[in-house]
Structure 1
C-alpha cells in the first residue's frame, strides 16, 4: 500500500508517517518510481507507534521496542526490553515532576510575598 493508504488505514497523517520513517520507526520499501510501499503489517505497527508515543515514550524509546511492534500491544508492550524502557521513561517523568514541584513551591512563596507587599 502507498503512504496515503497507510495513513488512512492507521488513522494518522502522511506527515506523521514520514516522521516515523525519519526516526527509524518505519522501514518502507521503495518502488522504482521512489514511492514508499508498505505491507499490511505496517498498519498495526503505526497504531502501536502512535500508542507508545501517546503514553509519553519518545521516538528513541519506541525505536528500542521495534521488535514488539509487530504484535498487538494495546494491553501493554510485552517484549523483554519494554519494561526497562518504560521504567526509564517513568523515572525521567518522576524527576521532572519533582523539579516542577520545587518550582511551584518557590513561585507560590514569591507570589505570597508579592501579595503581602500590595496589601
Structure 2
C-alpha cells in the first residue's frame, strides 16, 4: 500500500505516517521510483499507535510497548511501564484538579471582592 492509501484508511495524514517512521514506530520500503510502500498490517498498526497516543503515552514508550501489545504478550516489563505511565497520568490529573480549584477561587473572587481567597491574599 502507498502512503496515501494507508493514511486514508487509517484516518491520519501522510505527515503523521512520516513522523511515525521517524520515531521508528512504523516501517516502509521504497519502490524504484522512491515511493513509500507499507505492508498489509500497516493500517492496523497505525490505528494501534493512535490508540496508544490517545492513552497519553509518549513515542518512546509506544516504541517499547508496541511489539508486546501487538503480540498480546504482557511481560512484567510491559506491565511495569504501563503502571508507571498510569502513575504519571494520575499525578498530572491531581495537578490539574488543584489548578481547577484555584481557578474556581479566582472566578468567585472576581465577582465577590470579599471572597475568602481575596482576604487570604491580602494578608500575605
Query: Which of the five TM-score ranges fits, normalised by the shorter chain?
Result: 0.7 to 0.9
Q: Which has the higher contact order (CA 8 A, sep 6+)?
A: 1
Shift of 1:50: 0.7
Aligned to 1:62: 62
Residue 86 of structure 1: how far off its partner (Å): 1.6
1:84 aligned residue: 80
**CA deviation string 1:37-76 (max 9, x = no partner):** 10101111111101111111111111011213545xxxxx
Aligned to 1:27: 27
Which stretches of structure 1, 4 residues or more, deviate above 6 A after TM superposition? 114-117
Show the counterpart of 2:118.
113
CA distance in 1, matches of 2:26, 2:48: 11
Structure 1 or 2, whichever has the larger Rg, is: 2
Unaligned runs of 5+ residues in structure 2 are 110-116
Gaps of 5+ in 1: 72-76
- Give the number of equivalent residue pairs: 111
Using the TM superposition, name which of 77-86 and 30-39 deviates more. 77-86
What is the root-mean-square deviation in Å for CA atoms of aligned residues?
Answer: 2.8
